[in-house]
Amino acid sequence: MKQRLLRKHSRNPLITPSDFPVDVLYCFNPGAIRHRGEYLLIMDVTTTDDIHRFWLARSKDGVDFVPDPAAMKWPEPDPYHPETSTYDPRITKIGEEYYILYASDISQNDVRIGIVSTRDFLEFERIATGSEIGNRNGVLFPEMFAGSFARFDRPFGNELNPSYMWISYSPDLVHWGRSKPLQYQGASFRDGHKMGAGAVPIKTDKGWLEIYHTVSTTCNGFIYRLKAMLLDLADPSKIIGYTRDFILWPEHDYEMRGRVANVVFTCNALLEDDGTVRIYYGAADTNIGLAEGRLSDILEACVGG
């Protein structure tokens, strides 16, 4: 049996709806960052009005998290672009600024990429409604390319249809273009029925490491699992290699039963000083788990050719 690249924490699920100070239906798909000596998770939380809101949890050790007393105070939406739910945040630090790209939702298929920024995770400024309707899984790279910001996104027509990972560029985080699908060996890369970016990419000497989700169809629904890819440092639209095997998949009750069955989904991957990669992941759109692995092992598993 192959050694697992990611090991699930013995305390999983780390965070459940019962951990909140008010009635909560589900918590899932957190963005994660280290900030001023703390681990911060911005979680998707569904309250009893059936609306997804962002809620912050804090931890000193990255395992014992305490949710804040109330949901986050999120900036008012652009008056021309209504926003009824917010979910799936990815947090990218560039300089002293933290940028959060997230799903700005009107309905399941009427989704845009929203962009806000903060320096202290107390006050937030809206930067832009960053896409037209029909785009999600926006993930901002932690550095610029020839003066341009770069992000992954995933344009789609209907949530049930096939859709794949693209990359787009912007001079100012407001106007986006030069969009194209990721390429592997000169062709558009497709892995599963649909796929999308997960974590903020990690820069390594071998390339950009990206943890992504890939979706398989079954006779009665979808299964969400995680894989990894390695991208060219100068041109991140080019895939050098990827993991042929899944690196994380639903197998336990808390991952297979919930709001959306058979799902593991990430919006983060944090590299620790000792080379450990920590991934806080949504489980069945209901709980939050932690998986850990070695950066070197994941890179080695990203096979090209």
CA angle 294, 297, 302 (to 5 degrees): 130
CATH architecture observed for domain 7-301: 5 Propeller (2.115)
- The residues with which 153 forms a beta bridge, in sequence order, are 166
Which pLDDT value is given to residue 107?
77
Query: Cis bond leading into 21, ω under 30°?
Result: no
pLDDT at 161 over 70: yes
pLDDT at 4 over 80: yes
Give percent of the chain above pLDDT 70: 99
> Where are the chain's structural domains?
7-301
Structure tokens that stand for 220 in this block? 């009665």
Determine the average pLDDT of the residues in 291-305.
Answer: 94
Q: pLDDT by residue (tens digit) across 114-149?
A: 999 999 999 999 999 999 999 999 999 999 999 999
Determine the average pLDDT of the residues in 269-273.
Answer: 98
Q: pLDDT by residue (tens digit) across 220-257?
A: 899 999 999 999 999 999 999 999 999 999 999 999 99
Closest Cα partner for 229 from 218, 214, 215, 216? 214
Structure tokens that stand for 231 in this block? 């991208």
Give the span between the Cα atoms of 155 and 159, in whole angstroms. Answer: 10
Residue 267 — φ and ψ, nearest 5°? Answer: -120, 20
pLDDT at 258 over 90: yes
The mean predicted confidence, pLDDT, of the chain is 96
Global pTM reads 0.97
